[in-house]
Amino acid sequence: MNQTTIKNSIILKGGVGLHSGEKTDLFFFPAEEDHGIVFFRGDKKVKIPANYKYAKPSALCTTIENKGVEVTTIEHLLSVCNGLGIDNMLIELHGVEVPIMDGSGHEFYSALQSAGLRQLSSPRKVIEILETVMYQENEITIFVSPSDRSNFTFSIDFDHKQIGQQEVNFQLNERNYAEKIAKAKTFGFRKDYEKLLKQGLAKGANNKNAIILDDEGNIENMEAMTWLNEPNLHKILDQIGDFYLANNYRIIGDVFSHKSGHSSHLAFIRKLMDECTDKYVIVADT
C-alpha cells in the first residue's frame, strides 16, 4: 500500500474554535510523499508539523508549536487523517485553533472525502510493535502489545450515571472509522463549563457541538448523540488523532488505555518513539 494525499485542494468554511470562539477557515492542499501532515499558520507564515516533537502537553486539547507559534485542538482533524489513511497534506489556517465544527470528525471526514484521495509512489509506513510498551501515571494506564492489526480498547470511569464505567473495543481501518468513530462528538460536564469560561476557555462550546452532562447525572442534549456510548467512542477518536503524532504512522498493535487523555497520549508516544526504539520497527504497510 502506498502513501496518499488528497487529489484536490479544498476549503472548509464557517467553523469556530472550541476554546477561543474565533472563526477560522481551513484550506487543505495536496502534498508530496514523505511530507507528512503539516499545518501552516498563514497569518504568521510558520509551518508546524503534526509530530510529537512539536507537541505540547495539554489536558484539554492537542497543541503543536514551532518558533513560538501554536496550532491548538488538532486532535479531531488528525484523527480523521489517520482514519482515512492520509499520510501527506498541508493544512492552512489563519488563527490559533482548528475549528470544532460539530464536535466530532464528521465534517472534516466529509470534506476530505469530497477532495478525493490520490496514491503516491512511495510505500506507506507503519509502526509495528514487537514488544509490549507500557505507560502509567497515577490511575492512568496505556500499553500496546504486538498484533497484526491496529486495535484500540478504551476504558473510562466517570462519576456520572449516564457514563460510569465503560469499555469499548475498536479495530482501526478505513471502513470501521467511517462507520463507528467519525461521528462521535466530544463531551463535557455542565459543572466544569462555568469554570472554563472564567479561564477564557470553551467560548465556542454549545449544545450542538458537545454532549453536555449535567449535575444530576443526565444528558442535557440527547438529540446531539449518535450512540449511547458516544463519550467512550470519542475518547478513541481523540486517541487515534493523538497517536498519529508518531510521525504520522499508524500503529499496528493492540492498544489498551484506561482513563487516559491528551497529555498522557503524548507522554506515551514520546516514550514509545524515543525510549523504546528496540520494541518497534517502521515497515512498509502491506
Q: 182-231 pLDDT, tens per residue?
A: 999 999 888 887 788 788 888 888 888 999 988 888 898 989 889 889 99
CB burial of residue 153 (10 Å; 0-12, 13-18, 19+): middle
Closest C-alpha among 188, 206, 242 to residue 17? 206
> What integer pLDDT is reported at residue 286 of this predicted model?
83
Helix, strand or coil for residue 284? strand
Rounded percentage of the chain residues whose pLDDT exceeds 70: 100
What is the pLDDT averaged over residues 95-118? 96
268 membership: H or E segment, kind and range: helix 262-270
> What integer pLDDT is reported at residue 191 of this predicted model?
82
pLDDT at 14 over 90: no
What is the pLDDT averaged over residues 89-118? 97
Rounded percentage of the chain residues whose pLDDT exceeds 90: 79
Helix, strand or coil for residue 150? strand
pLDDT at 59 over 80: no
Superfamily of domain 126-284: lpxc deacetylase, domain 2 (3.30.1700.10)
pLDDT at 124 over 90: yes
Residue of 59 and 143 predicted with greater confidence: 143
Read off φ and ψ for residue 246, nearest 5 degrees: -75, 65
Active site residue 76: no
> What integer pLDDT is reported at residue 199 of this predicted model?
84
> What integer pLDDT is reported at residue 206 of this predicted model?
87
> What integer pLDDT is reported at residue 104 of this predicted model?
96
Helix, strand or coil for residue 172? coil
3-state helix, strand, coil in the chain (%, to 5): 25, 35, 35
Helix, strand or coil for residue 14? strand
> What integer pLDDT is reported at residue 230 of this predicted model?
93
Q: How far apart are the C-alpha atoms of 267 and 144, rounded to whole Å?
A: 14
One fold for 2-123 and 126-284: no
What is the pLDDT averaged over residues 114-134? 97
- CB under 8 Å to 218, separation ≥6 — which residues? 162
> What integer pLDDT is reported at residue 228 of this predicted model?
86
Q: How far apart are the C-alpha atoms of 205 and 201, rounded to whole Å?
A: 9
> What integer pLDDT is reported at residue 243 of this predicted model?
98
Residue-range domain boundaries for the chain: 2-123, 126-284
Q: Catalytic residue, from 76, 234, 262, 265: name it.
A: 262
- Residue type, position 75, single letter: E
Closest C-alpha among 43, 26, 116, 33 to residue 77? 26
Q: How far apart are the C-alpha atoms of 160 and 184, rounded to whole Å?
A: 19
Q: 258 falls in which pLDDT band (50, 70, 90)? A: very high
pLDDT at 8 over 90: yes
What CA–CA distances, in Å, run from 212 to 5, 37, 162, 218, 265? 35, 31, 11, 9, 24
pLDDT at 96 over 80: yes
Closest C-alpha among 87, 83, 111, 89 to residue 15? 111
| Mean pLDDT score across all residues of the chain | 94
> What integer pLDDT is reported at residue 202 of this predicted model?
80
- Reported CATH class of domain 2-123: alpha beta
